Amino acid sequence: MPFKINISSKDGKTYKLELESESLIGKELGNKIPGKEILPALEDYELEITGTSDKAGFTSMKEVEGVGLKKVLLTYGKAMKKRPKHEGKRKRSKNRPKGLKLRKTVRGKVISPEIIQINMKITKQGSKPLSEIFSEQNKPKNTAPEKTKEK
């Protein structure tokens, strides 16, 4: 299955592409890879893998070794943003629930064929800007067509 790759730049834009590449299998979260492994046009770029998710929507965590699914006990933070029922929308001083833990299924940090989406960020900028490489994604969004007034 092809990977859906999201490359985010420092100016806040995200460029998307689909790629069927075996070179990404076996890489881990946090690894830095040369851009030419993804596209030949990204020759001077260096990318860091920041996150992944599989076909069922389970995210990967850096703390979990391997490629399979594991149930992990989480406290408030990465991969868990739940609130206790009695707290509701009331704000706490540290904005973090006290004593709340949740067991959640997450995937290991190694990329496997079950992974569908890979998120990356640019660590080293290349000579050619991304807006030129992904020119078809750089077009302004089309707004709704204006209605013509009939008399």
Per residue in 129-144, pLDDT (tens digit) is 888 888 888 777 666 6
Residue 91: band (very low, low, confident or very high) from pLDDT cuts 50, 70, 90: low
Q: What is the pLDDT of residue 79?
A: 74
Helices (H), 53-128: none
Handedness of CA 2, 118, 13, 43 (dihedral sign): negative
Q: What is the pLDDT of residues 17-66, one digit of tens each?
A: 998 888 899 999 999 999 999 988 888 999 999 999 999 999 999 999 99
User: CB count, 10 Å around CB of 126?
Assistant: 16
pLDDT given for residue 95 in this prediction = 64
d(CA 120, CA 136): 20
Instruction: Tell me the pLDDT of the chain averaged across its residues.
Output: 85
Work out the pLDDT band at 6, boundaries 50, 70, 90. very high
**Residue 147 token pair:** 């209605």
Distance, CA of 80 to CA of 61 (rounded, Å): 12
Q: What sign does the dihedral 95-119-138-1 (CA atoms) show?
A: negative
d(CA 105, CA 53): 12
Specify the pLDDT at position 86. Answer: 62
Where in the chain are the domains? 3-134
Buried/exposed 30-43: b ≥16 CB within 10 Å, e otherwise: eeebebeebbeebe
114 neighbors 57 (Cβ within 8 angstroms): no
> Do the beta carbons of residue 59 and residue 26 sit within 8 Å?
no
